[in-house]
Amino acid sequence: MAMAMGSAPAPPPRQFKLARESELRVEVGAAAPLRVRLLSGTAEIFGAELPPENWLPIPPRSKIAIFTWHGATIELDGISEVEYVADETPMVSYVNVHAILDGRRTHAKASQGSGLDASQGPRVIVVGPTDSGKSTLCRMLLSWASKQGWKPTFVDLDIGQGSITIPGCIAATPVEMPIDAVEGIPLEMPIVYFYGHTTPNVNADLYKVLMKELAQTLEKQFSGNAESRAAGMVINTMGWVEGLGYELLLQAVDTFKANVVLVLGQEKLCSMLKEVLKSKPNVDIVKLHKSEGVVLRNQKVRQKARSFRIREYFYGLSNDLSPHSNIINFSDVSIYRIGGGPQAPRSALPIGAEPVADPTRVVAVNINRDLLHLVLAVSYAKEPDQIISSNVAGFIYVTDIDIQRKKIVCLTPCPGELPSKILVVGTLTWLEG
Ligand SMILES: Nc1ncnc2c1ncn2[C@@H]1O[C@H](COP(=O)(O)OP(=O)(O)OP(=O)(O)O)[C@@H](O)[C@H]1O
Ligand SMILES: [Mg+2]
């Protein structure tokens, strides 16, 4: 890759000797290539072990920690923005949580045949403010569990970022092996519901309905699969913990029947949850410290990350996928939006009248240039009234609308006909490039 003019020459490779239970934190810039290798000892990146000797490329924009339980020597080669060793980490408390969850999984497995409740493994939900390390903790818990042979289900409720698929969705997938530091979660068959917006307040009712749909689907799968049932779930959430965000967290605990709530880095949230969940003695609430290593991200960085996530869906992490430019006749698809349009403010209505907009109404959308640059979901629904209860097969990106010839030009992940003619649109946009 050509280096930017005027950028400093890459420093020579350098070695770090890590004492036990310490970590090397590295922040990689947008263009700088960086690679890492383990020279001696053992180390892991968010729960996934580093292979000995081999160089591992670290993707641009990554913020990682290379942690060692017993000591290690690490070599870095290339350019980074930040690199330092930290010996104060909350990792011991995190792995203690893992050990408790592991015990519960073993217990659940041993209780097969003695009822659905006893054979249900832990359902862990990770909550906390933005940039408290929720996604990272989920990743570690999943990787540690899968390393021990469990296949826990990862549920991602964060529509803002999307660890399983693109933003604007809630999704679930079994995790069968430690999550690769570079590649992320292998996407065999995730269950994806399309919400279509990157913030829940656009249509909070729809968000709640989709959580219920996802939970129901998982419940069905679990009832026929003792192995997944015993392994349980790890649920990632948004960083919105006040007002509506808080209400949605409580709803998530309820909907997914979470029995372990891990609260990262906020005393207030923890005590609020303890108070309101008092009536549910089977729900454990555990406060955990946030790692100092968690990197803060502002709105702009988040927006960029969203955009890269969509790019990755079509082009792959390192341009290893080749999406197709497809041309679809207007008459070959139907496009729907969920929600009856913007609600009239109460102040504009006669006293006592309720806003009429129905948040879960499915509305047919006219195909016109308003669809330009939007990301649409391809629904598995056969009829429009099944859209809300159907998960989605994938996404297309509208690159052009030819009104005269009545054709949609779009990017699709693979060639050939779409798996369904029913498309769903929200407000999720993408500007390629
Ligand atoms: N110990 C660490 N050292 C270095 N970087 C870290 C460490 N822990 C987490 N990070 C990085 O910090 C960033 C934020 O962490 P993470 O995504 O887990 O936070 P979050 O609470 O999920 O944020 P959000 O509220 O946006 O979902 C990520 O890029 C992650 O890779
Ligand atoms: Mg997160």
Tell me, using a 6 A CB cutoff, whether residue 134 lines ligand 1: yes
Q: Binding site for ATP: residue ranges?
A: 23, 63, 131-136
Tell me, using a 6 A CB cutoff, whether residue 295 lines ligand 1: yes
User: Which residues are registered as beta bridge partners of 403?
Assistant: none
Distance CA 55, CA 53 (A): 7
| CA nearest ligand 1 atom 19, residue | 133
Q: Is the pLDDT of residue 421 over 50?
A: yes
Distance CA 217, CA 390 (A): 10
- Positive or negative CA dihedral for 285, 287, 293, 297? positive
Mean per-residue pLDDT, 3-26: 83
CA distance readout (Å), 430 to 30, 168, 197, 313, 396: 19, 12, 12, 12, 11
287 phi and psi, to 5 degrees?
A: -90, 135
Helix, coil or strand: residue 137: helix
State what percent of residues in the chain have pLDDT above 70: 94
Mean per-residue pLDDT, 74-82: 95
User: Which residues are registered as beta bridge partners of 63?
Assistant: 27
Find the range with the poorest average confidence among 36-50, 133-147, 350-364, 417-431.
Answer: 350-364
pLDDT at 40: 97
| CA nearest ligand 1 atom 17, residue | 135
* Higher local confidence (pLDDT), 394 or 416: 394
DSSP string for 350-390: PTTPPP---TT-EEE---SGGGTTBEEEEE--SSGGGTTT-
Q: Is the pLDDT of residue 370 over 90?
A: yes
Q: Is the pLDDT of residue 364 over 70?
A: yes
Distance CA 142, CA 151 (A): 8
Helix, coil or strand: residue 261: strand
Number of the ligand 1 atom closest to the C-alpha atom of 264? 21
pLDDT at 3: 44
Could you tell me if 338 and 421 are in contact, meaning their C-beta atoms sit under 8 angstroms apart?
A: no
Q: Is the pLDDT of residue 358 over 80?
A: yes
CB atoms within 10 A of CB 123: 24
Tell me, using a 6 A CB cutoff, whether residue 290 lines ligand 1: no
Could you tell me if 244 and 204 are in contact, meaning their C-beta atoms sit under 8 angstroms apart?
A: yes
State what percent of residues in the chain have pLDDT above 90: 80
pLDDT in tens, 95-151: 999 999 999 999 999 988 777 778 899 999 999 999 999 999 999 999 999 999 999
Mean per-residue pLDDT, 313-318: 88
pLDDT at 4: 46
pLDDT in tens, 203-249: 999 999 999 999 999 999 999 999 999 999 999 999 999 999 999 99
Tell me, using a 6 A CB cutoff, whether residue 77 lines ligand 1: no
The answer as to CATH 2.60.120.1030 being correct for domain 14-88 is yes
* Spacing, Cα 6 to ligand 2 middle (Å): 35
Tell me, using a 6 A CB cutoff, whether residue 102 lines ligand 1: no
H or E segment to which residue 214 belongs = helix 204-223
By CB atoms closer than 10 A (0-12, 13-18, 19+), residue 215 is buried
The average confidence (pLDDT) of the chain is 92
pLDDT at 31: 80
Specify the residue for token string 């999307």: 162
pLDDT at 88: 96
Tell me, using a 6 A CB cutoff, whether residue 161 lines ligand 1: yes
pLDDT in tens, 265-295: 889 999 999 999 999 989 999 999 999 999 9
Q: Is the pLDDT of residue 348 over 70?
A: no
* Spacing, Cα 255 to ligand 2 middle (Å): 20
Which of 220, 257, 225 shows the shortest CA–CA distance to 124?
Answer: 257
* Spacing, Cα 142 to ligand 2 middle (Å): 14
Q: Is the pLDDT of residue 387 over 50?
A: yes
pLDDT at 404: 95
Which pTM value belongs to this model? 0.94
Tokens of 200: 């829940």
Q: Binding site: residue ranges?
A: 23, 63, 131-136
Tell me, using a 6 A CB cutoff, whether residue 47 lines ligand 1: no
| CA nearest ligand 1 atom 23, residue | 131
Tell me, using a 6 A CB cutoff, whether residue 293 lines ligand 1: yes
Domain ranges of the chain: 14-88, 91-288, 301-344+353-425
Distance CA 379, CA 197 (A): 16
Q: Which of 36, 84, 94, 136 to mutate to test the pocket of ligand 1 (most atoms within 8 A of CB)?
A: 136
* Spacing, Cα 131 to ligand 2 middle (Å): 7
pLDDT at 5: 46
Distance CA 192, CA 210 (A): 10
Tell me, using a 6 A CB cutoff, whether residue 156 lines ligand 1: no
* Spacing, Cα 161 to ligand 2 middle (Å): 7
What residue type is 139 in one-letter code?
R
Angle subtended at Cα 20 by Cα 15 and Cα 24, rounded to the nearest 5 degrees = 40
* Spacing, Cα 50 to ligand 2 middle (Å): 23
By CB atoms closer than 10 A (0-12, 13-18, 19+), residue 122 is buried
Tell me, using a 6 A CB cutoff, whether residue 133 lines ligand 1: yes
Which of 93, 49, 103 shows the shortest CA–CA distance to 232?
Answer: 103
pLDDT at 2: 42
Q: Which of 294, 300, 302, 303 to mutate to test the pocket of ligand 1 (most atoms within 8 A of CB)?
A: 294
The answer as to CATH 3.40.50.300 being correct for domain 91-288 is yes
The answer as to CATH 2.40.30.330 being correct for domain 301-344+353-425 is yes
* Higher local confidence (pLDDT), 187 or 104: 104
pLDDT at 346: 57
Could you tell me if 170 and 200 are in contact, meaning their C-beta atoms sit under 8 angstroms apart?
A: no
What residue type is 192 in one-letter code?
V
pLDDT at 7: 57
CA distance readout (Å), 87 to 18, 114, 144, 407, 418: 9, 45, 21, 59, 51
Could you tell me if 376 and 395 are in contact, meaning their C-beta atoms sit under 8 angstroms apart?
A: yes
Number of the ligand 1 atom closest to the C-alpha atom of 236? 22
Q: Which of 58, 125, 135 to mutate to test the pocket of ligand 1 (most atoms within 8 A of CB)?
A: 135
Tell me, using a 6 A CB cutoff, whether residue 28 lines ligand 1: no
Distance CA 210, CA 187 (A): 21
Tokens of 215: 């939970």
pLDDT-based confidence at 182, cuts 50/70/90?
confident
pLDDT-based confidence at 332, cuts 50/70/90?
very high
* Higher local confidence (pLDDT), 33 or 19: 19
CB atoms within 10 A of CB 81: 13
pLDDT at 206: 96
Distance CA 398, CA 426 (A): 13
CB atoms within 10 A of CB 289: 14
